[in-house]
Amino acid sequence: MTGLRGNKGQVGYAASRVPAALTSMICVVLLPWATYALSGAGVIAPLLRAVLVAIASVFLLRALLGPFVLVGNGRSARFVWVSSALCLVYGLLFLMGLVQRWDALPA
């Protein structure tokens, strides 16, 4: 159900620190991106357009290429499609925010 194959899903049950470490690494990437999104919305001090464009691009590329690149790498089809759909939603939200606020963002 989780998208993990083999013994990867059992690692969490064996009191391993690996799942927590992997989740922490993902948070280290996503937290600054959320900060950039708030910056683009004008909630906090403005940041660069290029960074917001790069973040939207990464999400959209992951969404579009994920189903082709991740298949056959030990991940379930459900994980590949759900994670790709989530990346597509995030990427489109970043893109919509960029389009709406483009003129207000510093170059």
pTM score, whole prediction: 0.61
Measure Cα distances from 66 to 13, 17, 73, 77, 93 in Å: 28, 26, 11, 11, 18
pLDDT per position as a tens digit, 40-56: 787 876 666 878 898 89
The whole-number pLDDT of residue 63 equals: 95
HSE-up of residue 45 (Cα within 13 Å, Cβ side): 0
Q: With helix as H, strand as E and coil as C, how does 4-34 read?
A: CCCCHHHHHHHCCCHHHHHHHHHHHHHHHHH
The whole-number pLDDT of residue 46 equals: 60
The whole-number pLDDT of residue 87 equals: 95
Confidence tier at 79 by pLDDT (50, 70, 90): confident
CB-based contacts of 49: which residues, under 8 Å, 6+ apart?
98, 102, 105, 106, 107
